[in-house]
Amino acid sequence: MANQLSQLDQVFAALADPTRRAIVMRLCAGEASVGELAEPFEMALPSFMKHIHVLETCGLLQSEKEGRVRTCRLSPEALLSAEDWFQHQRAIWEARLDRFEAYVMKLKKERAAAKRPSKTTEKTTNKPSKRKGA
Amino acid sequence: MANQLSQLDQVFAALADPTRRAIVMRLCAGEASVGELAEPFEMALPSFMKHIHVLETCGLLQSEKEGRVRTCRLSPEALLSAEDWFQHQRAIWEARLDRFEAYVMKLKKERAAAKRPSKTTEKTTNKPSKRKGA
DNA sequence: TAATTGGTTAGCCATGGAGCTAACTATAGG
DNA sequence: CCTATAGTTAGCTCCATGGCTAACCAATTA
């Protein structure tokens, strides 16, 4: 678990760099050699290789060398574990909002019960639009 | 759009730090003052404030000061946009896998058609277990 | 075998990020 | 008014990161 967190550090740090995100995006479309991957970037190969190595270290990328060409492919587990982090946070966040909303509803009801005849005209609580991947 | 990417840089960089991730996690459970947020960490306040500022700069956190206490809350848009990035990549990745699978199926069928009488007994393609939030 | 291609290693430099202390501002409470 | 509280500003280290060049393998290919 503590190890997990440290892996998250690495994955997020890796994805914080636009070059590396581009590599990941490229690899989502299929495997490629280092040369093919490097070609769109105006960067010396050794610099580029560092990015490859970072991605490989944090588990986002796998590669193997055949002859003199190294082929890279995405290894999705790390990507998925990072995505899971977001989903987990969002779950907590949304649960809290639901609880809060319930609380507000209860308050409203109580207040309405307290001064029965007068209608309490409050602004509608802005509930934050449920999202797709929920 | 180019601005969007730069925002992603910042968000991922922000989340690459365990302290900041912890802050975000804490704020998912509800708003808190700087002091409350800082309390679990063995870190000088100015250092901690930098983290707060980083989170605020990249749009993950909002804060306002009343009297001498600054209250922080999560502002979910940035978090969601980062999560969207993952979902987008995964969509592409999975689409490719599906295409690949279809391709393998086609190959199988063709091969089966070629040597009609013999049943080609191949191992099942290991399809990568559809995930929850799909 | 010689030259080219594809990648790798080594080492340098500049920048930025995470941490610290010290000193300061401003509100709250006595 | 005085003190304690809650943040803030300024300025300093240290080291990790991203980039470079130069030189170096090791497979292909001519």
Tell if B33 CB is < 7 Å from nucleic strand D.
Answer: yes
pLDDT at A40 over 90: yes
| pLDDT value, residue A58 | 96
Segment A123-128 mean pLDDT: 39
Segment A7-33 mean pLDDT: 96
| pLDDT value, residue A109 | 74
Closest residue to B24, CB basis, from A80, A89, A96: A89
- How many residue pairs from chains A and B have C-beta atoms closer than 8 A? 88
CA closest to B91 among chain A residues: A28
| pLDDT value, residue A134 | 35
What element of type H or E holds B82? helix B76-114
| pLDDT value, residue B103 | 73
Q: Using a 7 Å cut-off to protein CB atoms, list the covered nucleotides of chain C.
A: 5-11, 17-23, 26-28
| pLDDT value, residue B129 | 40
B82 touches chain A (CB under 8 A): yes
CB contact under 8 A, A89 and B13: no
Tell if A32 CB is < 7 Å from nucleic strand C.
Answer: no
| pLDDT value, residue A117 | 55
Q: Which nucleotide is nearest to A65 (CA to C1')?
A: C7
Domains, chain B, in order of start with CATH, read 2-74 (1.10.10.10), 86-134 (no CATH)
Place of tokens 């995505």: A83
pLDDT tens profile A112-123: 666 555 443 343
A55 touches chain B (CB under 8 A): no
pLDDT tens profile A50-107: 999 999 999 999 999 999 999 999 999 999 999 999 999 999 999 988 777 777 777 7
| pLDDT value, residue A80 | 93
Among B11, B12, B31, the strongest candidate for a mutation testing the A interface, having the largest count of A CBs within 10 A, is B12
Any idea how long chain A is? 134
Q: Using CA of residue B38, residue B43, residue B44, residue B48, what is the dihedral sign?
A: negative
Q: Using CA of residue A48, residue A52, residue A55, residue A58, what is the dihedral sign?
A: negative
Nearest by Cα to A11 from A94, A64, A69, A84: A84
Residues of chain B with pLDDT below 70 are 1-5, 111, 114-134
Separation between Cα atoms, residue A11 and residue A2, nearest integer Å: 14
CB contact under 8 A, A29 and B5: no
| pLDDT value, residue B99 | 79
Structure tokens at B8: 């992603």
| CA/C1' separation A46–D19 (Å) | 9
Contacts of A18 (CB under 8 A, 6+ apart): B5, B6, B8, B9
Burial class for B94, CB neighbours closer than 10 Å (0-12, 13-18, 19+): middle
Other Cβ atoms less than 10 A from the Cβ of B123: the count is: 5
Segment A8-27 mean pLDDT: 97
| CA/C1' separation B7–C12 (Å) | 31
